Structure 1
Amino acid sequence: MSDLSALRRAKRPRTPLAGPYGHPFHAMLVTVPIGAWTGALVFDLVSFFSGDPEAFVRGAKWLVGIGVIGALVAAVFGLMDLSILTRGTKARRVALTHMALNIAAIVLFAVSFLLRLNGPQEGPAVAGFVAALVGFAAVGASGFLGGELTYRHGVRVADEETQAQAHR
């Protein structure tokens, strides 16, 4: 397969379930776990310094859980986007690393959630916070690679002719 046909293939969804051309659902869905996990870390930090941390501890726990569920849904759509990438290409290798980091993050946040379920309910769950913090670092690295896939390698981005129409 030529380089150009591999690039064209990377721009089009294999199935409409992945989102229409130029609008991949994966990119929209990742905002749920990222937002939930960011909120959880903020709640954790507030709980460490609050005189009454119970509500923040409970909120952080459920935000972590919501993020795990959201990440699993986003992963399904990410796999659809991965399936269009040609084997042996740099874009596919970057996507596989992106996926591995996301799997690590999901596992770390799931561990964080379980630690929070079984940990103290009235005060901060330090072990859960540490697992979440490491998971959040994995999400950051993965997000960088997701940006590489989109902005550098053009995965699921409209082709340049389609883009040019907006600048006429």
Structure 2
Amino acid sequence: MSTRAGQAKHPVSAMLAGPYGHPFHPILVTVPIGAWAAGLVFDIASHVVGDPGFLVRGAHWLIAIGVIGAAAAAVVGFLDLLAIPTGTRAFTVALAHMTLNLVVTAAYIVNFLWRQSLSVDSPVRAGPLALSVVSFAVLGASGYLGGMLSYRYGVRVADEATQEDGFAGR
């Protein structure tokens, strides 16, 4: 393994970003992904039920929870970015991943603020719903890049020698 690839496997700060082989970023991203997915389901369901108010309010707060979770994930994700050597494909993919996530988070902040002025007694309006759909689609593209960083380039994944221990006989 090259020294540059090995560098990307070790955290800049184990206390903040998670120890070797156990990064915090993949754990934390489940909060915004789950909140925003549930919020989108609530948005769509608000068009199906007779009394959509609870779903509209729920989607609004799920967006807020997702933004807070995204902020936490971004902090440790940025620490992981600092471990990747510049001038590499992995670094370029990581920058694209980070940029898309920042755009998505900004879009959800706009969506949250937009909903502040709307009625909760009727289904989610077309504009905020469309923004949720587009934001979630971009989040999916960013997730693809995050998966590429982990599964293809092995960023913050234990090296093969360490992994081999899991396949040794008892």
| TM-score (normalised: structure 2) | 0.95
**Separation of aligned partners in 2, 1:120 and 1:128:** 12
The aligned length equals: 166
**Separation of aligned partners in 2, 1:14 and 1:57:** 41
**Separation of aligned partners in 2, 1:124 and 1:72:** 28
- Residue aligning to 1:154: 154
- Residue aligning to 1:70: 69
- Residue aligning to 2:135: 135
User: What are the ranges of 5 or more consecutive residues in structure 1 without an aligned counterpart?
Assistant: none
* Paired amino acid for 2:7: R
**Separation of aligned partners in 2, 1:62 and 1:124:** 15
Q: What do residues 9-49 of structure 1 show as CA deviations (whole Å, max 9, x unaligned)?
A: 00000111100111110110000000000000010111011
Displacement of 1:102 in angstroms is: 0.3
User: What are the ranges of 5 or more consecutive residues in structure 2 without an aligned counterpart?
Assistant: none
Displacement of 1:83 in angstroms is: 0.3
**Separation of aligned partners in 2, 1:45 and 1:100:** 27
Displacement of 1:143 in angstroms is: 0.3
- Residue aligning to 1:88: 87
Q: What do residues 91-147 of structure 1 show as CA deviations (whole Å, max 9, x unaligned)?
A: 000000000110110011111111111111111232221111111011100000000
**Separation of aligned partners in 1, 2:63 and 2:122:** 16
Q: Among the aligned pairs, what percent are the same residue?
A: 51
**Separation of aligned partners in 2, 1:146 and 1:113:** 25
| TM-score (normalised: structure 1) | 0.96
Decide whether the 8 Å contact of 1:111 with 1:128 is kept in 2: no
- Residue aligning to 2:3: 5
**Separation of aligned partners in 1, 2:117 and 2:133:** 18
- Residue aligning to 2:115: 116
